């Protein structure tokens, strides 16, 4: 079945190459972009499939050489068969991975929500550390970050921050970061040198377009109020802060980061759409129990996914049993090893359940 599917993909790729050189398609910008996008999506799997076919042909040729009467040719043929068999197995595995259906949300931008949990001021300080970690990771990947809402604490930490992460494949890289991040360290205010445990919750939501989540204006209540606290840029001057309540679901979103009421409303609506899309996706996933089992963890904020232990310089991701003793570099945004581990583990689960 896999090779029947690959043959169909190869044939479709050939059709797309013909369409992209068709004068009629070249004149239709929308059609050209659609076919070009599909062509790009299929190119990697077709390239690997064609390499596989070439290796398979060479393996058949080497097997034929075993019938040769010359001992030296037979010996060389055996060596080549061993090499090509190994390469063929590698390519088969790669093709299986490439055939795994892609998450349609993977290429989306991300609404990243970081909130201090248990642990008081120490939790707020660690929420700030996590925001810096994700910011540096985004910078390394040439992603852009836009602050949607910000509530700092009085000691230099964050009670809550919501940011929009814009960049290719942002959701595919960050989607497994949802959950509770636990920190173990000695607070600067602790005179006894005792280790405190605090928690921060992270939520990763795919950005939703207006066409994906249609919000009926009659189903939202919009309240305007004056910005307050260190986060308000226009404190005690104008009623620019916005609170939107989605009446059917009870979801509440507020934004006060901008001086403009209209900008705060636009940002709040963007966050609300993302939360509604996330809610819809989770409801669909709950109906597809097998698909939920294939995911790394539940993505629930109450699920403890990772521990950052400062005394030991250790970071442990509990879902995949990965422990790294380089906490400082991880907090500087060097988290690719963890993310790749999570992606690989998830792909292995999907393959196992597909067999």
Which pLDDT belongs to residue 285? 62
Dihedral of the alpha carbons of 27, 29, 33, 39, in degrees to the nearest 10: -10
Dihedral of the alpha carbons of 256, 258, 261, 266, in degrees to the nearest 10: -90
Are 169 and 109 in contact, with CB atoms under 8 Å apart? no
Which pLDDT belongs to residue 134? 97
Are 184 and 310 in contact, with CB atoms under 8 Å apart? yes
pLDDT digits (tens, 9 = 90+) for 62-114: 999 988 888 899 999 999 999 999 999 999 988 988 887 777 788 889 999 99
H/E segment holding residue 124: helix 120-140
Instruction: Identify which has the larger pLDDT, 279 or 172.
Output: 172
Which pLDDT belongs to residue 353? 67
Strands 251-255 and 304-309: unpaired
Decide if pLDDT at 13 tops 60: yes
Which pLDDT belongs to residue 212? 66
Mean pLDDT for the chain?
86
Rounded to 10°, the helix 71-98/29-65 angle is: 150
Q: Which residues pair with 161 in a beta bridge?
A: 114, 150
DSSP 8-state assignment for residue 102: P
Its pTM stands at 0.69
pLDDT digits (tens, 9 = 90+) for 124-171: 999 999 999 999 999 999 999 999 888 898 788 999 999 999 999 899
pLDDT digits (tens, 9 = 90+) for 280-327: 877 766 654 544 444 455 445 567 999 999 999 999 999 999 999 999
| Domains within the chain, CATH numbers bracketed | 2-98 (1.20.58), 110-211+300-354 (3.30.70.1660), 217-284 (3.30.160.20)
For residue 137, which of 102, 115, 160, 112 has the smallest C-alpha distance?
A: 112
């Amino acid at each position: 079945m896999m090779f029947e599917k690959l043959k169909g993909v190869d044939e479709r790729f050939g059709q797309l190459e013909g369409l992209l050189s068709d004068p009629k398609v070249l004149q239709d910008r929308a059609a050209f972009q659609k076919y070009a996008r599909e062509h790009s999506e299929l190119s990697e799997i077709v390239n690997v499939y064609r390499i596989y076919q070439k290796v398979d042909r060479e393996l058949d040729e080497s097997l034929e050489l075993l019938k040769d009467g010359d001992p030296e040719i037979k010996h060389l043929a055996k060596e080549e068969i061993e090499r090509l068999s190994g390469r063929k197995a590698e390519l088969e595995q790669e093709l299986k991975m490439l055939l795994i259906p892609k998450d349609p949300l993977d290429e989306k931008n991300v609404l990243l929500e970081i909130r201090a949990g248990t642990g008081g001021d120490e939790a707020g300080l660690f929420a700030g550390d996590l925001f810096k970690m994700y910011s540096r990771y985004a910078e390394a990947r040439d992603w852009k970050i836009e602050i949607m809402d910000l509530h700092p604490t009085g000691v230099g930490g964050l009670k809550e921050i919501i940011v929009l992460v814009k960049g290719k494949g942002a959701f595919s890289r960050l989607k497994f970061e949802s959950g509770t991040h636990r920190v173990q360290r000695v607070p600067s205010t602790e005179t006894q040198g005792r280790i405190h445990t605090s928690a921060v919750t992270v939520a990763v939501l795919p950005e939703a377009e207006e066409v994906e989540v249609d919000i009926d204006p009659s189903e939202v209540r919009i309240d305007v109020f004056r910005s307050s606290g260190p986060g308000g840029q226009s404190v005690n001057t104008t009623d620019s802060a916005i609170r939107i309540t989605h009446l059917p679901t009870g979801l509440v979103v507020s934004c006060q980061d901008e001086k403009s009421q209209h900008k705060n409303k636009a940002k709040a609506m963007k966050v609300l759409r993302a939360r509604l899309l996330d809610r819809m996706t989770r409801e669909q996933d709950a109906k597809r129990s097998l698909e939920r089992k294939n995911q790394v963890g539940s993505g629930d904020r109450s699920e403890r996914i990772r521990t950052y232990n400062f005394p030991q310089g250790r970071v442990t991701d509990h879902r995949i049993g990965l422990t790294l003793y380089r906490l400082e570099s991880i907090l500087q945004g060097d988290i690719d090893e963890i993310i790749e581990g999570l992606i690989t583990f998830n792909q292995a689960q999907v393959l196992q359940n597909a067999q």
